[in-house]
A and B are shown apart, each in its own frame.
Chain A
Amino acid sequence: MIKLEHVVKRYHGQRDALSRVSLVINKSEMVFVAGHSGAGKSTLLRLIMLLERPTRGRITVNDIDLQSISSAGIAQYRRKIGMVFQDHRLLFDRSVIENVLLPLTILGTERKEAFRRARAALDKVRLLTRERAMPKELSAGEQQRVGIARAVVTRPSILLADEPTGNLDPNLSREVMLLFDEFNRVGVTVVVVSHDLSLISQLGHRQIRLEEGGLI
């Protein structure tokens, strides 16, 4: 469960990126965070991912108060959460499978088991046949699917996606969203930030609307 209580995020000398936001995302729920550019969607994910700390308020993730996590504990926390980025954030000097193996290597998963899980994740996103390919040999949609495979390979209980379809055409966008839907069906809490309202409406999950840093 993700819980935000009166969360404020203010960047130096600017208006509030998030203004007293309180919300609850239940375990195994899939929600879309929608809103215009600058509404605070990405800030919300960055706070949950502990890429930033809130100026005020309290965030609890799986009963852990994020305020209590020290700088040294951040890496440990992030290992429990899968994150998908708009720009994929792949390592272009490593093959597809090496990219997917990365979180498992960090976790210290036994090599044989790590390969088995990485292949299973690639199979899930229908890229098993491209495991030896380099990211630059893949299309934007395929790169995004590698990013998703990397995010889910550690079997996180929470999956966060920041504009995952931002660079994709409508068909690929739908394909990616359906993947998230599949993960949600097996119990993963999924939070997807998107400004594509028509696509969000088609999938029928709860929507959280943000405008100028506040919930509407």
Chain B
Amino acid sequence: MLRLKFNNWIFHHRISSAESLSRVLSRPFGSFIICCLIAMTLAFPISGSLLVKNLESLISKVIYEPSLSVFLDDQIPESKGRQIAESIKNWEQIKDLEFLTAEAALLKLGEDSGFGDLLLRLDTNPIPATLLLTLDSYLSYEDSEALGSQLLAIPEISNVIIDHAWLERLKNFLALGYRIIFLLTISLGLAAAIVISSMVKLAIENRREEIVVIKLVGGSDAFLRRPFLYMGLWYGFGGGVLASNLVIFAEALVISQVDALLLSYQSEYKFISLRVVEAVNIAVLGGVLGILGAWGAVIRHVPQIEP
């Protein structure tokens, strides 16, 4: 008996889903527009997420050694500077140390910045004697900061610059990017659900007379909800599939330019594309949003229609 009831329940789900699909397909243009709206709201955060993921992956492949530039007080003689260099050289965090006199430091700055000629024309050298410290690669940014503070405690050291701070800032920007994309996903997902909810509400209004008849012959609200929930599912799923295709299309448009750009930086980095499993997940997410949106509409409007 229970098995029979279950089979009938499954059967009704099959009927409801097929009937809803046929209703959605019977208005191909209108349904396509709705799916496009949903696709656009989903494609935007997906593309953003893909971009941030690529940037993150690109950064993780940048080989760098944490380093510090330690500026000595410009009043101290070279011998004293070398003495300080010797005293800190064997600190366990320091892998390598190079002492640069004020002149050598100015030359290096000129080389690194490309403003060498300009710097050589200055009347006085604004750069003091400098220690270039290469740190152990296992050191975190916080460790580098702690070491910098430790060094600043030495009276002859006037300033410490963490050379790889830009990378840390970029990482922070990426973390912010992920947060923004998360918020976008939630708000645009909500927008997609609202679009579906409105469409389902309209469908309920259009089928008001049918709902009344079904209620008169004993149809429960659960029975009446089913086709509309499936309608939401189809719209959401269709929107999800379209969103995946939009992202794949956008990828195909930009990938050659991205590769060319990376090549110009001698990078062999391969752009991370949308994987099949992710595309399927997007379609499923669209379907879930569709059901949630439809649920929002049916739960309010179906019980309100009474014979």
Residue pair A106, B219 in contact (C-beta under 8 Å): yes
Residue pair B214, A106 in contact (C-beta under 8 Å): yes
One of B11, B210, B212, B218 near A106 (C-beta < 8 A): B218
For chain A, give the interface size range: 20 to 34
Chain A residues lying within 8 Å of B306, measured Cβ to Cβ, are 51
Residue pair B9, A108 in contact (C-beta under 8 Å): yes
The segment from A75-83, A171-179, A185-193 found at the interface with B is A75-83
One of B7, B12, B216, B218 near A76 (C-beta < 8 A): B218
One of B4, B7, B8, B218 near A103 (C-beta < 8 A): B218
One of A72, A78, A80, A91 near B210 (C-beta < 8 A): A91
**Once the chains are docked, how many angstroms separate the CA of A91 from the CA of B217?**
12
Q: Mark A85-117, 1 if CB is under 8 A from B, else 0.
A: 100011101000000001101111111000000
Closest A residue to B23 by beta carbon equals: A93
Does A150 count as interface, using CB distance less than 8 angstroms?
Answer: yes
Chain A residues lying within 8 Å of B7, measured Cβ to Cβ, are 110
**Once the chains are docked, how many angstroms separate the CA of A103 from the CA of B213?**
10
Closest A residue to B4 by beta carbon equals: A110
One of B5, B11, B210, B220 near A75 (C-beta < 8 A): B220
**Once the chains are docked, how many angstroms separate the CA of A155 from the CA of B7?**
22
B76 → chain A closest CB, angstroms: 88
Does B15 count as interface, using CB distance less than 8 angstroms?
Answer: yes
Residue pair B217, A102 in contact (C-beta under 8 Å): yes
Residue pair A75, B8 in contact (C-beta under 8 Å): no
Residue pair B8, A108 in contact (C-beta under 8 Å): yes
**Once the chains are docked, how many angstroms separate the CA of A103 from the CA of B223?**
11
Interface residues in B1-50 by Cβ distance below 8 A to A read 4-5, 7-9, 11-12, 15
Q: Mark A44-84, 1 if CB is under 8 A from B, else 0.
A: 00000101000000000000000000001001111110010
**Once the chains are docked, how many angstroms separate the CA of A72 from the CA of B218?**
11
Chain B residues lying within 8 Å of A90, measured Cβ to Cβ, are 213
Does B221 count as interface, using CB distance less than 8 angstroms?
Answer: yes
**Once the chains are docked, how many angstroms separate the CA of A75 from the CA of B307?**
12
Does B171 count as interface, using CB distance less than 8 angstroms?
Answer: no
**Once the chains are docked, how many angstroms separate the CA of A157 from the CA of B78?**
111
**Once the chains are docked, how many angstroms separate the CA of A5 from the CA of B285?**
55
A6 → chain B closest CB, angstroms: 25
A178 → chain B closest CB, angstroms: 23
Does B215 count as interface, using CB distance less than 8 angstroms?
Answer: yes
B180 → chain A closest CB, angstroms: 44
B213 → chain A closest CB, angstroms: 5
Given A51-B307, A105-B15, A106-B223: A83 and B217 interface contact (C-beta under 8 Å) = yes
A161 → chain B closest CB, angstroms: 13
Residue pair B217, A110 in contact (C-beta under 8 Å): no
A38 → chain B closest CB, angstroms: 20
Q: Mark B262-299, 1 if CB is under 8 A from A, else 0.
A: 00000000000000000000000000000000000000
Chain A residues lying within 8 Å of B223, measured Cβ to Cβ, are 75, 106
**Once the chains are docked, how many angstroms separate the CA of A111 from the CA of B9?**
11
Residue pair A78, B8 in contact (C-beta under 8 Å): no
**Once the chains are docked, how many angstroms separate the CA of A108 from the CA of B218?**
12
**Once the chains are docked, how many angstroms separate the CA of A110 from the CA of B7?**
8
Residue pair A79, B218 in contact (C-beta under 8 Å): yes
Residue pair A75, B219 in contact (C-beta under 8 Å): yes
Which interface residue of A51, A102, A105 has the most chain B CB atoms within 10 A?
A105
Chain A residues lying within 8 Å of B212, measured Cβ to Cβ, are 89
Chain B residues lying within 8 Å of A80, measured Cβ to Cβ, are 218
**Once the chains are docked, how many angstroms separate the CA of A91 from the CA of B219?**
14
A125 → chain B closest CB, angstroms: 16
Chain A residues lying within 8 Å of B5, measured Cβ to Cβ, are 108
**Once the chains are docked, how many angstroms separate the CA of A90 from the CA of B212?**
11
**Once the chains are docked, how many angstroms separate the CA of A47 from the CA of B184?**
52
**Once the chains are docked, how many angstroms separate the CA of A106 from the CA of B219?**
6
B271 → chain A closest CB, angstroms: 50
**Once the chains are docked, how many angstroms separate the CA of A102 from the CA of B210?**
11
**Once the chains are docked, how many angstroms separate the CA of A113 from the CA of B51?**
57
Q: Mark B184-215, 1 if CB is under 8 A from A, else 0.
A: 00000000000000000000000000101111
Closest A residue to B210 by beta carbon equals: A91
**Once the chains are docked, how many angstroms separate the CA of A72 from the CA of B7?**
23
Closest B residue to A79 by beta carbon equals: B218
21 intermolecular pairs with C-beta atoms under 8 Å apart: A51-B306, A75-B215, A75-B220, A75-B221, A78-B216, A78-B217, A78-B218, A79-B218, A80-B218, A89-B212, A89-B216, A91-B210, A93-B210, A102-B219, A105-B12, A105-B15, A106-B218, A106-B219, A106-B220, A108-B8, A110-B7
